[in-house]
Amino acid sequence: MYDILVIGAGPAGANAALFAAKAGKKTLVLDNDKSMTKRAWVENHYGVKEISGPDLIEIGKQQAGKFGTEFVQTEATTIQKTVEGFTVETENGTFETRHVIFATGIGIDLAEKIGLKTKPGTEPRIKTVLDVDADGKTSIEGIWGAGTVAGLSVHTIITAGHGAHVAINVISELNGERYVDHDVLK
């Protein structure tokens, strides 16, 4: 049983996983390797002079992996509610988790299939997004949305930050108190 299962390893998903795993939560990321960031050239990401989208994704996955995040390259096909959380079925197996974070960029097919509420997108070429509250909660308790799929801008710095924001809210809910992650110089 995972504490947090993230669907998508782009900036929102990998950063959510980074925060979750660093907080000691058993974290799994399912990724179909179709991130729009794979086609990006990035020169507007704070703290990074310039980077290719594929390199940004790889570094993010390495950072999350450093803290124990597991990654499986697969397509999530359905999600079912269970007593303790959710069963997520994929092309390569089934996984149990307490919480799910959708960080699927422009992909909403699975979200619509399981009945998550959606709304019109506001970004160019983004027709539909998840209807989430300020914390990232969707219409199904225990399922969250982060990044572009949650209606945020497609910019990597914004989606990465939102992934962290949503992860902190999930971690706080799991812990029963507000979670804060601050490192200090040694």
The helix (H) or strand (E) run that includes residue 167 is helix 156-175
Contact 60, 45 (CB under 8 A): no
Pairwise pLDDT comparison (27 vs 33), residue with the higher score: 27
Confidence of residue 37 (pLDDT cuts 50, 70, 90): confident
Predicted local distance difference test score (pLDDT) of residue 169: 98
- Condensed to tens digits (0 to 9), the pLDDT of residues 92-111 reads 899 999 999 999 999 999 99
What distances in angstroms separate CA 105 from CA 67, 87, 174, 175, one per listed residue?
Answer: 24, 22, 25, 27
Contact 149, 110 (CB under 8 A): no
- Condensed to tens digits (0 to 9), the pLDDT of residues 144-167 reads 999 999 999 999 999 999 999 999
Contact 148, 156 (CB under 8 A): no
Confidence of residue 36 (pLDDT cuts 50, 70, 90): confident
- Condensed to tens digits (0 to 9), the pLDDT of residues 43-99 reads 988 898 999 999 999 999 999 999 999 999 999 999 999 999 999 999 989 999 999
Query: Tokens 């992909």 sit at which residue?
Result: 107
What distances in angstroms separate CA 137 from CA 29, 117, 125, 184, one per listed residue?
Answer: 18, 11, 24, 30
- Residue 150 exposed, middle or buried by CB count within 10 Å (0-12, 13-18, 19+): buried
159-172 in b/e form (b: 16+ CB < 10 A) is bbbbbbbbbbbbbe
